[in-house]
Amino acid sequence: MDNKDLESALDRLNIEEKNIENMNNTEIITIITDLVDLDEVTTALTELSIRDKEVAIPHCLKILKEDLGDEFLQAVAFNLLYEVDQEKAKEIISQKLTNSSTALIGAIMDNLSTDSLQPFGESLSSEFLNAILERYFELSDAEKERIHDNYEWFKESFVKKLNIM
């Protein structure tokens, strides 16, 4: 991709974002449920969450539970869900951990690390946290490299609860 192509892609993204900002919630929800252009869906889901988190949550849950879209849409959906309902996010982690994508594992690690000193983070069991760590270790070297910073922060945040050699 040369500079001209990159500029064109960025222009299209800016136009999409401005158009989505001007849509009503029903139009935004249609973009999310149609799942045609995943970049547009991600922008729409984020915009809906900004407007009304409670309306966005069922869409986040559907994306996560049904493995809709790509790993990046799922990571965004997880981030938005975690902001509103950490317990539901924890349930998703428990349900999806064994087949979670690299981006989703990174999002999980980041969100939990952010709250490691908060009551929710402190309440997480060593077993739960070590299961996330085990999933990270199952990734290929290239996948681990993609989320290495997330791993380091997670490891540092939960050092007393993780079984690290």
Tens digits of per-residue pLDDT, 70-114? 999 999 999 999 999 999 999 999 999 999 999 999 999 999 999
Does one domain contain both 72 and 112?
no
Does one domain contain both 26 and 44?
yes
- Domain final residue pick, 68, 84, 100: 84
Q: What is the pTM of this model?
A: 0.86
Mean pLDDT of 142-160: 97
Is the backbone of residue 69 left (phi > 0), alpha (psi -120 to 50) or beta? left
Domains identified in the chain, total number: 2
Does one domain contain both 32 and 53?
yes
pLDDT tens digits, 51-77: 999 999 999 999 999 999 999 999 999
Does one domain contain both 159 and 95?
yes
Domain range for 73: 19-84
Does one domain contain both 55 and 102?
no
pLDDT surpasses 80 at 165: no
Kindly state whether residue 3 falls inside one of the protein's structural domains.
no
- Domain final residue pick, 55, 84, 113: 84
Does one domain contain both 100 and 46?
no
Does one domain contain both 29 and 67?
yes
Does one domain contain both 105 and 46?
no
Does one domain contain both 75 and 104?
no
Contacts of 34 (CB under 8 A, 6+ apart): 41
Kindly state whether residue 67 falls inside one of the protein's structural domains.
yes
- Domain final residue pick, 84, 100, 130: 84
Residues 57/84, Cβ–Cβ less than 8 Å = yes
When pLDDT is cut at 50, 70 and 90, the band that residue 15 belongs to is very low
Question: pLDDT > 70: what percent of the chain?
Answer: 88
Kindly state whether residue 10 falls inside one of the protein's structural domains.
no
Mean pLDDT of 13-31: 80
Does one domain contain both 101 and 129?
yes
**Dihedral sign computed on CA atoms, order 40, 43, 67, 75:** positive
Mean pLDDT of 35-39: 93
